[in-house]
Amino acid sequence: MPKKTGHKKLYVAIILIAILVVATAAIVYGTTLSKPTSIVGVHVGDTFTYRITGTSVLNSAAAVTPAGFDVYNQTDHYTVTVTGVVGTKVSLDTVWLFLNGTQITSSQTIDLATGNKTDPNGFWPLYPSNLKTGDLLYPKGTDGQIVNATDTLTYANNSTRGRNYWYIENLFKDINDPTGNTQRDEYDSVYFDQQTGMLIVLNNVQYYNNPEYALIVTWQLISSNVWTVT
């Protein structure tokens, strides 16, 4: 009988240890999942200035450049300033300055975990720091968009920085055409700094088939107080 009691005690001890190990692992796993997966790479006071250009290519006698498109070529520069960082949320102030001296100011807040923005029409190409090829642009976002490639870009004074790239293509149909034959093929390609997550180059290309023409809008980083661009 004493031997059996000893075995029971041993079994109970083993079971308790196993339960403790499983519980500890569950706590560690849960804690790991609950940690933010986005790292903000910008800081309050960081500024980024862009040149914006627009090009229209008319491939049909019936095609005309849409009204208002020339606003891009009336741009002197567009500056983004980081005004706040709280957790994964980054607040920005933007100033769009035109050649005639007028300007448009706006504010934006982007959650780098989800990609959610307070202004759907405001500046948006800002991402978490240190993303690599295959990583989601916004780890808790819903669009599933990933970094397609990573390389190194050389700047002034032969300094180098990591650069990420992603692209997407979408086809849209004109709802006013019941045949569905009037379409717009839109292509976006974005290069952004790996360390800060901030936009370097954006190309938005829109191809229209009826009538045939293309619109191209390009954003190019020309200066920053974070690193010497040119």
- Mean of the per-residue pLDDT values for the chain? 88
Looking at residue 126, what DSSP letter applies? B
Looking at residue 71, what DSSP letter applies? G
49 Cβ neighbours under 8 A, 6+ residues apart: 77, 78, 79, 80, 221, 222, 223, 224
| CA pair distance 213, 63, nearest whole angstrom | 6
The predicted model gives 23-48 an average pLDDT of: 63
* Statement: the pTM of the whole predicted model exceeds 0.75: yes
pLDDT of res. 32: 37
Amino acid at 127: Y
Q: Which residues pair with 221 in a beta bridge?
A: 50
| CA pair distance 136, 189, nearest whole angstrom | 16
Q: Check if the beta carbon of residue 220 is closer than 8 Å to that of residue 49.
A: no
Task: Give the whole-number percent of the chain exceeding pLDDT 90.
Answer: 80
pLDDT digits (tens, 9 = 90+) for 206-219: 999 999 999 999 99
pLDDT of res. 96: 98
The predicted model gives 96-111 an average pLDDT of: 98
pLDDT of res. 38: 66
Q: How far, in whole angstroms, is CA 78 from its chain's centroid?
A: 18
Flag the least confident range among 1-10, 46-55, 106-115. Answer: 1-10
Task: Judge whether residue 13 has pLDDT over 50.
Answer: no
pLDDT of res. 81: 98
Tokens at 105, concatenated: 């100011």
